[in-house]
Amino acid sequence: MKINLDKIDNQILSLLMDDARMPVTSIAKKIGMARTTVIARIASLEQSGIIAGYGVRLNQELFQSGVRAYVGMSIEPRSAAALVKLLQQWPEVETLCAVSGVIDYMMTLRCTSTENLDKLLDQIGDLEGVRQTSTSVILSKRIDRSAIGLSV
């Protein structure tokens, strides 16, 4: 499905991604459109599924007391579904992505300490179907573009 967004849609989405609670009147003022037009545009974006929902974005700086790490994982192909199902239950797993290349999955872990990270990595390494892991501890974020970038 190809998404056709014009400049106005992109401006509205950008503003909502920055602040999903921004009043429609503020959005209308910032993009120079009538409030009713903005309401209709947002409704259209929601109905088409482009806006899938609204949520809370936590201030990550307040949660930096822990340790975060990227973990690459090579697995036995037949174990993929069971491993994904199991890892989905672990609160320390922030993201799990299937990737191409030498590794099969890349995940982001958040632990309270390096000791907890070490124990968790041992547990992951002992899971049936895991061939190998490779870990890099995240020291700092230099660029964060986690909000989806849109282009016209």
**Domain boundaries along the sequence of the chain:** 7-47, 60-137
Q: Quick check: 10 pLDDT over 80?
A: yes
Q: How confident is the model at residue 64 (pLDDT cuts 50, 70, 90)?
A: low
User: What confidence score (pLDDT) does residue 59 get?
Assistant: 66
Q: Quick check: 151 pLDDT over 60?
A: no
Q: Which residue has the tokens 């007391």?
A: 65
Q: How confident is the model at residue 66 (pLDDT cuts 50, 70, 90)?
A: confident
Higher pLDDT, 20 or 2: 20
Percentage of the chain beyond pLDDT 70 is 88
The CATH number that domain 7-47 falls under is 1.10.10.10
Convert the pLDDT of each residue in 103-149 to its tens digit: 999 999 999 999 999 999 999 999 999 999 999 999 988 877 665 55
| Fold that domain 60-137 belongs to in CATH | Alpha-Beta Plaits (3.30.70)
